[in-house]
Amino acid sequence: MNRSVILQCEAVTVEFDGFKAVQGMDLRLEKGELRFLIGPNGAGKTTILDVICGKVKPASGKVLFQGKVDITRRKEHQIAELGIGRKFQAPSIFPTLTVFENLEIAMRQNRGVFATLRAKMSAEERDRIEAQLAMIGLEAKADWRAGGLSHGEKQWLEIGMMLLQEPEVLLLDEPVAGMTDKETDKTGELLHQIARKRSIVVVEHDMEFVRNFASKVTVMHEGKLLKEGSMDEIQQDDRVAEVYLGKRRDVDVSRSTA
Amino acid sequence: MQLRTLTPQRIYILIGYAVASAALFSAPLFMSDFRLNLLAKFLAFAIVALGLDLIWGYTGILSLGHGVFFGLGAYAMAMYLKLEASGDRLPDFMGWSGLTQLPWFWKPFESFAFAAAMGIALPAVLALVLGYFTFRNRIRGVYFTILTQALVIITVTLFIGQQAFTGGTNGLTGFSSVLGVPLSSPDTKRMLYWITVIALLGAFVLCRYLVKSRFGKVLRAIRDGENRARFIGYNPAVYQMLVFSISAGLAGLAGMLFVLHVGIISPFMMAIVPSIEMVLWVAIGGRGTLIGAALGAILLNYAKSEFSTSYPDAWLFFLGALFVIVVVFLPKGAVGLFGRLKFPKRKGQKHEQVSHSAV
Amino acid sequence: MLPFLKSWKVLCLFDRKAYTQQVHKRGEFMELIIGQLFNGMSVSSILLLIALGLAITFGLMNVINMAHGELIMIGAYSTYLTQNLFIDYLPSSMFNWYFVLAIPASFLIAFAIGLILEFSLIRFLYGRPLDSLLATWGVALMLQQLARTIFGAPNVGVKSPTWLDGGWMLMQGVVLPYKRLFIIGLVIVTLFAMYLYIYRSHAGRRMRAVMQNREMAACLGISTRRVDATTFAIGSGIAGIAGCALTLMGPIGPALGTYYIVDAFMVVVLGGVGKLVGTIIGALGIGLTNTLFEFWTTASLGKVLVFLCIVAFLQWKPKGLVAMRTRSLD
């Protein structure tokens, strides 16, 4: 292993009122890796993302960031400051702020109160935001209230916000849900592009998308790690097939249950 | 620094501000002393409304406790005025309650500067402490609102109960002079009026700076989605604490001015009903717009002074009905109604354009 | 604000000073404790009755009803009217029984007004707790003014039935007045009826279903509109019963409800939303600590201490004693 590990989950267990949503889950993410996390409903995929970004505190286990910081003890905003960005399933942008303002506050910067009180928009910051606007195709709508955007545009805005946030690790929960085929392909290419510099974990139900863009896939089932490997290895695995559809091997049909 | 483009709309707005300020400053020229005193009181209320709008309109946190912050400011100033009026003697009500010596915490209030500083600092610090213990634990929404209401109840109960130190139900009154100048003289009143105008304009400029800065955008982001803001890396609790504290400080400032104009402060003036009425000022003017909040305070209090004495019963019905109508049908208040009539097609885009290029 | 203090004093049956003297004289600690616990219990039981409706409507519809206090007032005036009807139209030998009729009358009148309120206003405010708080406060103001117009601003007295005079001597020096025992009994009966309704009836099952998952319940064919309206009206009716009970404690006036509403809300904050048991514990907690603190210190300091206790408690459990978990982001 030459590449350094950026994120490491060790034996993470999460309980909700006695129900174990995640049981002893391990996950190692290397720098510049694009990892897909799949599994049937209730497998604990979203929960493990929640643990990494601090939304849910695990009952036991550790999550090490850059090999040293145990982030399970940190608060959400501290984890975000360390460099872990999260995109939720439903587009969550700030509806009464304009598109431009959404990007402005998401941009990497000092987020203390006194810093934002004195903050002035520099020419360099403006250029960065405008470049990002161009990339997500919302230049013409920069002054719109974000709440007035279409579903797909909101998704793009949120991706734009994440990119300006410049996190080391991106956690994406179903980023292509509700997107057209064309947009889905664009997103996939974008993910590969981003993964050159950063690490990404994607939870996805869209098997077509996973097959087209995944290099390494982790399958979860009932809160545990079931299988990890390339897409081909996953598709050949009997246990994965069984989990998804009884005895049948066609993983693709799982989309209907998503 | 961005270039400020002077669009026609911007020019109109600037002219509007200039005319309004000029009118306020020259009001003593064409108003009777009695009316001027009333207006001064309303302007002090407008300062409360500005602060309340910061926390409610922009940050989405409803405080029903601003009467307390207002009252603390007012009491701080009143303590100074009472000591000045009493001269070397013990304030009268203390004697009635059997005190023979000035309590230690009253002593520093012999200084005007100390009293004025406390009038802002006390409410600001109280808000900071309450904010620390609530926002940090994500106690928000109605839970926070109910706690602020409980704060009102206990403060009022405490002020009534500790009669020897606070003057009890009668509150503090019977003032004569401020800094050696008699309070009752028309010259003093006019001077106090101008000070209030300056305070209001200062508060307005401060609030405007806050809401237009990136800080203000984060506030609105927290209002839209507190958790989302958290996952971007902002700590909402710190923002909420700070803005709550600023808001309380402004209420304290208004309370000090109020006492100077009216000459009395009692626990009833910071009780539940006045506190919630303050919220109505903001609601009716339009939450989330500073001008709306300030105008709401002035207009509603003007209406109150016109009608409540001649038709007290009808006034309460009217007030109640106003609450219902504004909340259910006019969530953006009068300014929202006006905006809808005036620019039916623009969907507020114009406003947003102004807001980010003006930073 | 003064009557507010008085009303609390009324609730504190045993005068503090008299008690302290007694203790000094006789040195019996047990009496003191039992007396205070009993006071705390009766305060709690009334708070519980008031908070019950609030907790249910907040849990079910995410609506904060500030006019709840005025439903208490309506219940109290209903009792007053029932009394007057008995005095005017029935022989005086029947008078003692007016109270038996007054309880259902208070419930029904408050129930009906709650239903009207729900239909005309509350249903537009579902899921907007802060707005509902403000709008219902406006309603509260109007109802108070209405009461003032109809019945006059001064307090009116309601004569308690004679069979509630006197008290039960528990031990030497501790007399538990029948009125308070009756109130505690009334609360227990109401609570039991509520328990049966929520956990044992079909209507209650529908209500819990809507509370836990509104969309799913609607999909399963439950008329959420009807459930909301009925629940709100029942909560209002219980407030009416609380108002009826309060007539036993002292004179009543148009602002009767405002003295209790904030305390009742604190019970909801403390107890959390969604389960009966949270409200019960919350009410007992606030009622008892309130009485004890007021006894040990003064009425005003006691209130401050209770408030500090509540804030301290919320540091530990920010969502109250029982909280429902959700997965949604905000």
Domains and CATH numbers, chain A: 5-256 (3.40.50.300)
Query: Which residues, in sequence order, are CB contacts of C277 under 8 Å at separation 6+?
Result: C322
Domain ranges of chain B: 33-87+105-269
Per-window interface: B 70-129 vs C, CB < 8 A: none
Residue to test with chain B: of A94, A130, A133, most B Cβ within 10 A: A94
Q: Give the pLDDT score at C20.
A: 56
The answer to whether A145 and A97 are in contact (CB under 8 A) is yes
3-state class (DSSP) for residue A160: helix
Q: Which helix (H) or strand (E) holds C287?
A: helix C276-296
Q: Does A41 touch chain C (CB under 8 A)?
A: no
Cα(B75)–Cα(C74) distance, rounded to whole angstroms? Answer: 37
When the pLDDT of each residue in chain C is averaged and rounded to a whole number, the result is 83
Q: Does B220 touch chain A (CB under 8 A)?
A: yes
Q: Give contacts of B225 with chain C, Cβ < 8 Å.
A: 329-330
Q: What residue in C sits closest to B270 (Cα-Cα)? A: C1
Q: Is it the case that residue B347 has pLDDT exceeding 70?
A: no
Query: Which residues, in sequence order, are CB contacts of C264 under 8 Å at separation 6+?
Result: C47, C50, C51, C54, C68, C69
Q: Does B210 touch chain A (CB under 8 A)?
A: yes
Q: Is it the case that residue B124 has pLDDT exceeding 90?
A: yes
Lowest model confidence (mean pLDDT) among A210-224, B53-67, B114-128, C25-39: C25-39
Facing residue for B157 by CB, picked from C5, C124, C148:
C5
Render pLDDT for B167-220 as a digit per residue (tens, 0 to 9): 999 999 999 888 888 988 889 999 999 999 999 999 999 999 999 999 999 999
Cβ separation C138–B316 shorter than 8 A: no
Q: What is the ipTM of this complex?
A: 0.86
Cβ separation A120–B352 shorter than 8 A: no
Facing residue for C329 by CB, picked from A16, A17, A92:
A92
Cα(C305)–Cα(C309) distance, rounded to whole angstroms? Answer: 6
Q: Give contacts of A51 with chain B, Cβ < 8 Å.
A: none
Q: Give the pLDDT score at A245.
A: 61
Render pLDDT for C167-224 as a digit per residue (tens, 0 to 9): 887 777 778 888 889 999 999 999 899 889 888 888 888 888 888 888 888 888 888 8
Cβ separation A17–C329 shorter than 8 A: no
Cα(B253)–Cα(B74) distance, rounded to whole angstroms? Answer: 8
Facing residue for B233 by CB, picked from A88, A111, A113:
A111
Q: Does C326 touch chain A (CB under 8 A)?
A: no
DSSP codes, C307-321: HHHHHHHHHH-TT-S
Q: How far is A196 from chain B (nearest CA, A)?
A: 22
Cα(C208)–Cα(C227) distance, rounded to whole angstroms? Answer: 10
Q: Is it the case that residue A121 has pLDDT exceeding 70?
A: yes
Cα(A71)–Cα(A73) distance, rounded to whole angstroms? Answer: 5
Cα(A224)–Cα(A26) distance, rounded to whole angstroms? Answer: 8
Chains A, C: CB contacts under 8 A, how many?
5
Q: Does A90 touch chain C (CB under 8 A)?
A: yes
Q: Does A140 touch chain B (CB under 8 A)?
A: no
| Angle (CA) B34 B37 B38, round 5° | 90
User: Residue B353 — pLDDT band, cuts 50, 70, 90?
Assistant: very low
Cα(C32)–Cα(C121) distance, rounded to whole angstroms? Answer: 48
Q: Does B145 touch chain C (CB under 8 A)?
A: yes
Q: Does C325 touch chain A (CB under 8 A)?
A: yes
Alpha carbon distance, N-terminus to C-terminus of chain A? 35
Render pLDDT for B125-149 as a digit per residue (tens, 0 to 9): 999 999 999 999 888 888 899 899 9
- Strands of the A5-16 sheet, one edge to the other: A19-30, A5-16, A60-65, A69-70
Cβ separation B213–A75 shorter than 8 A: no
Q: Is it the case that residue B357 has pLDDT exceeding 50?
A: no
Render pLDDT for B285-326 as a digit per residue (tens, 0 to 9): 888 899 999 999 999 999 998 888 788 888 888 889 988 998
Q: Count Cα atoms within 13 angstroms, Cβ side, for B304.
A: 20
Q: How far is B54 from chain C (nearest CA, A)?
A: 16
Cβ separation B154–C304 shorter than 8 A: yes
Cβ separation A96–B214 shorter than 8 A: no
Cβ separation A76–B215 shorter than 8 A: no
Q: Does A124 touch chain B (CB under 8 A)?
A: no
Cα(B237)–Cα(A30) distance, rounded to whole angstroms? Answer: 33
Q: Is it the case that residue B250 has pLDDT exceeding 80?
A: yes
Q: Give contacts of C64 with chain B, Cβ < 8 Å.
A: 142, 145-146
Render pLDDT for C248-294 as a digit per residue (tens, 0 to 9): 888 999 988 888 888 898 898 888 876 778 889 999 988 888 888 88
Residue to test with chain B: of C269, C290, C301, most B Cβ within 10 A: C269
User: Residue C329 — pLDDT band, cuts 50, 70, 90?
Assistant: very low
User: Residue A248 — pLDDT band, cuts 50, 70, 90?
Assistant: very low
Facing residue for C135 by CB, picked from B62, B267, B324:
B324
Render pLDDT for A66-87 as a digit per residue (tens, 0 to 9): 888 888 888 999 999 889 998 8
Cβ separation C134–B280 shorter than 8 A: yes
Q: Give the pLDDT score at B200.
A: 97
User: Residue C19 — pLDDT band, cuts 50, 70, 90?
Assistant: low
Q: Give contacts of C325 with chain A, Cβ < 8 Å.
A: 16-17
Cα(A227)–Cα(A246) distance, rounded to whole angstroms? Answer: 17
- The pTM for the full model equals 0.88
Facing residue for B321 by CB, picked from C138, C148, C258:
C138
3-state class (DSSP) for residue B68: helix
Q: How far is C325 from chain B (nearest CA, A)?
A: 14
Question: What domains can you pick out in chain C, each with its CATH number?
Answer: 3-329 (1.10.3470)
User: Residue B56 — pLDDT band, cuts 50, 70, 90?
Assistant: very high
Tell me the H-state helices in B162-225.
Answer: 163-166, 186-212, 214-224
Q: Give contacts of B348 with chain A, Cβ < 8 Å.
A: 145
Q: How far is C202 from chain A (nearest CA, A)?
A: 27
